[in-house]
């Protein structure tokens, strides 16, 4: 699902060179401006992360940001389809102490005992919109002030947020005709679940944990341990 951009985007090559025609953009993936990443200089909102900053990743430690795409919702010339509305996550769902907004197709790394039983690894990637099956999660119509970012590294990376969530930053683009990276970028080795498999996994996790409240409390406890470990 895509939306239409009315202001200039950027074409392949010099990121300062504008495109004069309308572009289709992907608002399903990316990080909203208030998302706080862990960097070697401390926690920093993605809106304040610059090219060259070293962001902490799940697999490869600090990695320099090579490029950042940015799209302001005020640039859109059409209403954002509901399928692209951000999801508002309640405190505790991913260890977050405050509510968080996430793009609906943004890939999140989920730690799951059932995933370890099914796939031999407790960590799997799931699309964020799977979380909409939890009653406390809701889609929120984005205001024109919304801004979404896609940081890009030398290869796909899982970045760490201040609240303990782990989000995939791949080398794709929100803008169709960008060709900044080679097609043979090394993929990540984690199992990526399609939506129906991810929904089934999350339902089973919630049932095993004893309900949604217990499931959220478990993730909050995991975050607290993560934070104490530094």
Give, in order, the Cα–Cα distances in Å from 137 to each of 42, 92, 98, 122, 145.
Answer: 29, 11, 13, 23, 21
pTM exceeding 0.85: no
Predicted local confidence at residue 94, as pLDDT: 64
Using alpha carbons, select from 44, 48, 3 the residue that is nearest to residue 22.
Answer: 3
Q: What pLDDT, on the 0 to 100 scale, is given for residue 225?
A: 67
| Reported confidence tier of residue 67, pLDDT bands at 50, 70, 90 | very high
Percent of the chain with pLDDT over 70: 77
Location of structure tokens 């919109």: 129
The hierarchical CATH code for the domain 21-172+189-229 is 2.170.16.10
Range among 17-21, 33-37, 187-191 rated most confident: 33-37
User: Cβ distance 69 to 175 under 8 Å?
Assistant: yes
């Amino acid at each position: 699902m895509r939306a239409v951009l009315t202001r200039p985007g950027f074409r392949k090559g010099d990121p300062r060179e504008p495109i004069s025609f309308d572009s289709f953009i992907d608002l399903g993936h990316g990080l909203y401006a208030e998302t706080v990443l862990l960097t070697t200089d401390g926690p920093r909102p993605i809106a304040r992360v610059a090219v060259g900053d070293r962001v902490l990743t799940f697999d490869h430690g600090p990695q320099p940001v090579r490029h950042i795409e940015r799209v302001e919702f005020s640039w859109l010339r059409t209403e954002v389809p509901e399928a692209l509305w951000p999801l508002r996550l309640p405190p505790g769902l991913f260890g977050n102490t405050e509510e968080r907004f996430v793009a609906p197709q943004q890939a999140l790394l989920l730690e799951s005992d059932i995933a370890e039983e099914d796939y031999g690894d407790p960590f799997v990637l799931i699309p964020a919109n799977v979380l909409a099956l939890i009653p406390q999660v809701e889609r929120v119509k984005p205001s024109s002030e919304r801004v979404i970012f896609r940081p890009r590294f030398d290869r796909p990376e899982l970045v760490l947020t201040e609240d303990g969530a782990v989000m995939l930053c791949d080398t794709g683009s929100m803008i169709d005709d960008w060709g900044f990276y080679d097609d043979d970028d090394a993929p990540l080795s984690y199992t990526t679940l399609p939506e129906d498999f991810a929904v089934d996994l999350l339902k089973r996790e919630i049932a095993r944990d004893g309900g949604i409240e217990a499931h959220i409390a478990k993730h909050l406890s995991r975050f607290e341990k993560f934070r104490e470990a530094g």
